[in-house]
Amino acid sequence: MHHTFLYEPGVWTLSGMFWSGDGPGIAVEGRTEISHGKDCWMLAGRMRVLASPPAEFVSIYTFEAPQPDAPVLRWSSENPTLGKLHGVFAVVGPSMLSLYRSEQGDYQGTEQLRQIAPDQYEGTGVLLMGDRRLSSWHVTLAR
């Protein structure tokens, strides 16, 4: 299967639902841009939670440019609340799975991106602090 998200530069829009802790779901929308450089790839995105007042999460991930047939994509990100995050994306059939944790080890999470079509993915993820769910989301990404 040929994955397009992350593996091809492009702009993706997202929409779906976000849950804070175990609270009710709130609609989200956003945008993600993927770019490829010689030595690294970059993901710059934002997710806007359509609450009252709205909240916005901004993310910038840097990826080590993968070697051909590399089994994983290694990434890192700096988050003002969580600190430095390190993770990997691994392709498993129609899905890309990401596992990550904060540098201090307080936070960890996972995300699954399942390819529906070359220009569409479904994403589901969760952020944990220990065994407590801080947030989760279910979104559709379209290019």
**DSSP of 8-46, one letter per residue?**
S-EEEEEEEEEEETTS--EEEEEEEEEEE-SSEEEEEEE
The Cα 5–Cα 40 span in angstroms is 15
Q: What does each of the 143 residues of the chain score in pLDDT, given as a tens digit?
A: 799 999 999 999 999 999 999 899 999 999 999 999 999 999 999 999 999 999 999 999 999 988 877 889 999 999 888 999 999 999 999 999 999 999 999 999 999 999 999 999 999 999 999 999 999 999 999 99
State how far the Cα of 26 lies from the Cα of 48, in Å rounded to an integer: 10
Nearest to 16 by CA among 134, 128, 127, 125: 125
- Taking a C-beta distance cutoff of 8 angstroms, is the pair 13, 134 a contact? no
CATH number of 10-134: 2.40.128
Residue 80's pLDDT is 84
Closest CA to 61 of 83, 45, 50, 81: 45
Domain ranges of the chain: 10-134
Cβ(127)–Cβ(107) under 8 Å?
yes
The pTM (predicted TM-score) of the whole model is 0.92
pLDDT at residue 25 in the model? 96
